[in-house]
Amino acid sequence: MTDPVILWFRQDLRLHDQPALIAAAHEGPVIPVYILDDETPGDWRIGGAQRWWLHHSLTSLAADLREKGSRLILRRGRAADELAKLVEQTGAARVHALRHYEPWWKEAEGALGDRLSLHDGNHLAHIEDVRTGSGTPFRIYSSFWKALQSFLPPEEPMPAPRKIDAPAHWPASDTLSKWQLLPTKPDWSGGFDEDWTPGEAAALERAKEVGDKLAAYDTARNMPAEEGTTRLSPHLHFGEVSARTVWHQTDGHRDAVTFRQEVAWRDFTHGVIMALPDYGDRNGRDRYDRLPWRTDKQARIDLKAWQQGQTGYPIVDAGMRQLWESGWMHNRVRMITASFLVKHLLIDWREGERWFWDCLVDADYGNNAVNWQWVAGTGVDANMFGRIMAPLSQSEKFDAGDYIRRWVPELAKVGDAAIHDPDDAGCRPRGYPAKIIGHREARERALAAAKKL
């Protein structure tokens, strides 16, 4: 019998449009493998919310593989070590995988050497080909988007194989329940079950609905109380649907440009971390290493208030509570809450980045790092630190009050005129905190800090 080949799943938990699977199936019997590696990524091991999603996504993938006559092998440990063991135990001739750009994958990929075949399939284009005229990765998104046009449209997605040949002997596998990915003490995931259905089938269904969103997308995507976004981000992050599948769902729609630019943003951020692997840990511009972030006891108290949605700014508190209860936050509100932490509270952006990493079901290393550094003004593509978003103005512009009332029930009976700033209106309900700091005071403090650079 032909030697088996290993299909190494990472954040590409799907059978549809899966080039690594197609290549593996052409070579021989396939051993699909997922390795839970909490060691190699160090501080970037997947967060609590992602673990909830991963449990359900792997459950779905295992069921899909069984329908194709295959199964999913689960291993836990350093990916480099576990893959080496599997190659030895199975006599596998080759390991096939999709290409990823998070820095912690390099160890395992390097250890496999010539046995590893990497395939494109997670992005709209081969990111390493999208370069500036001088051959360097792009650091400005608008320039990246312009250059990307030469590589578009992306290839048509591949169908899933009807059957996957199984090896004569299966290697040992962990059981998913032993990984204890789901929260138990306490179980904080009740809202997740109400909001999300992980897995490839659900991802493909949601992708089919994209066209219905496009006509109003340019405006509705900024309104947190509306269902104006596709909510595809966690499905894309875990690779339950490919970016090019999502892209081609917009074919024939005249209103697709803004949405397609959002899909391509992920390609851009992954290009940034390919060039700057430690972007999640250090400022994109060294001069900001001198920024005097607050680190005293009061700063820790303020950080906790921000994390718990107790800042006294309703739009900020609504976003932070949505994050905790659902594992997701509307993108406009992500910008507002991030800016508030960095500019109003003068707390290091990395504190917020880590909190989002643990709480978001769609926490993506590239997106998270680039977005936080853009808001903070510290990144390679950043705006100026001195540009300070006014949360009250943002709230009045993008929310009529429905979003705040949903996530901050203490304010449910506050009228439209006062709901954005009940403190200032003199109608703050008992039990809801006063503003942690005034906007003018926060702005002056942030600008004073910027002058010290």
Write out the two tokens for 259. 């949405």
Query: Residue 51 and residue 64: Cα distance in Å, rounded?
Result: 20
372 in active site: yes
Catalytic member of 53, 306, 372, 374: 372
Catalytic member of 27, 265, 396, 410: 265
In sequence order, the 6+-apart residues with CB closer than 8 A to the CB of 368 are: 280, 353, 356, 357, 360
Catalytic member of 27, 104, 155, 331: 331
357 in active site: no
8 in active site: no
349 in active site: yes
Please answer whether residues 116 and 95 qualify as being in contact, where contact means their C-beta atoms are separated by less than 8 angstroms.
yes
Catalytic member of 349, 357, 374, 407: 349
In sequence order, the 6+-apart residues with CB closer than 8 A to the CB of 144 are: 130, 138, 264, 267, 268, 271
Please answer whether residues 275 and 137 qualify as being in contact, where contact means their C-beta atoms are separated by less than 8 angstroms.
yes
Catalytic member of 293, 306, 407, 410: 293
Catalytic member of 155, 226, 262, 410: 262
By the 10 Å C-beta count (0-12 exposed, 13-18 middle, 19+ buried), 71 is classed as middle
Say which DSSP state 137 is in: B
SS3 content of the chain, % helix, strand, coil (to 5): 50, 5, 45
Give the Å distances, CA to CA, from 3 to 14, 116, 164, 277, 382: 24, 15, 14, 36, 50
Cis upstream peptide for 186 (omega within 30°): yes
Query: Residue 323 and residue 192: Cα distance in Å, rounded?
Result: 10
Provide the annotated active-site residues: 262, 265, 293, 331, 349, 372
